[in-house]
Amino acid sequence: MSLLLPVPRRVRSGCVLAVGLTVAVAFMALLSAYIAKLLARYHWITWIGLAIVLYVAVEMVWTETHQIGCQVVSKADCDGGALRTLGVLLA
């Protein structure tokens, strides 16, 4: 699809991953002292970060558990939602 990068898709995604990781590490190395000062001065930023991480973790566990449970239960139970799938699995 891309006319600019005539390389296989797997190679392109690997390059994108490598570039992204390099940029992220460089960004943290350059700005880590500033970010540490901000966190020391404004403690509430830490709590907001913790809340975001917890929300994402719980949401990932919930959705992935439902997806894995759908491989075991019937399609009707799976379409009923995560709670119904969990109920069938625990029954």
Read off the pLDDT of residues 14-62 as tens digits, 9 standing for 90 and up. 778 888 889 999 998 999 999 999 999 999 999 999 999 999 999 998 8
* Confidence at residue 6, expressed as pLDDT on a 0 to 100 scale: 56
Pair 36, 55 in one domain: no
Pair 50, 75 in one domain: yes
Pair 27, 6 in one domain: yes
* Confidence at residue 33, expressed as pLDDT on a 0 to 100 scale: 92
Does 7 have pLDDT greater than 80? no
What is the rounded distance in angstroms from the CA atom of residue 45 to the CA atom of residue 38?
A: 8
Pair 54, 79 in one domain: yes
Pair 48, 29 in one domain: no
* Confidence at residue 1, expressed as pLDDT on a 0 to 100 scale: 46
Pair 34, 52 in one domain: no
Pair 22, 1 in one domain: yes
The range of the structural domain enclosing residue 35 comes to 1-41
Based on the structure, what is the number of domains in the chain? 2
What is the rounded distance in angstroms from the CA atom of residue 75 to the CA atom of residue 65?
A: 15
Pair 23, 57 in one domain: no
* Confidence at residue 11, expressed as pLDDT on a 0 to 100 scale: 59
**Residue range 69-76: average pLDDT?**
86
* Confidence at residue 5, expressed as pLDDT on a 0 to 100 scale: 52
Reduced to 3 states (helix: H, G, I; strand: E, B; else coil), residue 2 is: coil
- For the entire predicted model, the pTM comes to 0.58
Pair 35, 48 in one domain: no
